Amino acid sequence: MSAIALYAKKTAGFDERVAHAVAVLQSAAAEHAGRIVQATSLGAEDMVITDLIARHALPIAVATLETGRLHAQTVALIPRIEQRYGLAVEVFEPAQESVVHFVKTHGERAMYESLDLRKQCCAIRKLEPLARMLAGASAWITGLRREQSDNRGGVPFSEVDDKGRVKFNPLADWSWADVWHYIAAHEVPFNPLHDEFMPSIGCEPCTRAIAVGEPFRAGRWWWEDEKAKECGLHVKDAPAVSMIGAPR
């Protein structure tokens, strides 16, 4: 069954939530002109945000992280965005020497061995490139929603991150049904892996399909404790990472 058929449903207040998300984006673009970027994960929520940016001709840059371990289906969305919307997507990759050093030292499957090693991998492949993506920016935009997990249950529409930048979460109050109703209504491109019961998609070794009744993010780092399921992108005071192998 397709994700649209499974999840899309218009619920009460949907139009108002869309209008509010647009207002958040418009205000953010005006307040941070030339210094704001959508850090898209290429997930369903972020594809909605990119569509809103393009649909309303908002001057917001779009950028993504290519960790080197993403599914081919995820990477394929980058040219689809550029062709569909005429928007350039800036791609940030991890420092190759750091990746090579980490893999040589700990192996390709290090993320399964300990939480510390998994977080080191995330730091090298995600946090350091994100720092470069946001260098010079005063604000950024994410697809965080309160419904995604207990850890994200209090996500505000805007907050200040640990570097003093404003972080906007325009879909904070949207439901999963809202996301898919919008995608269906506007024919927004999306990752076909969502049709394979992967609501939250990260790097290939760290993502699996979920079963009926499992939490939204159960397929991310499924071998870890539920409370650990963040890579650090949305955690304040995440540890710094060395360019040549993170500390043990």
Would you please indicate which residues are annotated as catalytic (active-site) residues?
231
Tell me the sheet residues that pair with 166.
Answer: 139, 160
Angle CA 207–228–123, to nearest 5: 70
User: Which residues pair with residue 29 across a beta bridge?
Assistant: none
Q: What is the rounded distance in angstroms from the CA atom of residue 155 to the CA atom of residue 205?
A: 27
Q: How many residues does the chain have?
A: 248
- Listed residue (184, 194, 191) closest to 219, CA to CA: 194
Instruction: Count CB neighbours of 177 within 10 A.
Output: 16
CA dihedral of residues 128, 132, 135, 137 (deg, nearest 10): -100
Task: List, in sequence order, every residue forming a beta bridge with 160; answer none if it has no partner.
Answer: 166
Report angle CA 176, 210, 231 to the nearest 5 degrees. 80
Residue pair 39/130 in contact by the 8 Å Cβ criterion: yes
- In whole angstroms, how far apart are CA 126 and each of 12, 95, 98, 156, 203? 37, 10, 12, 23, 10
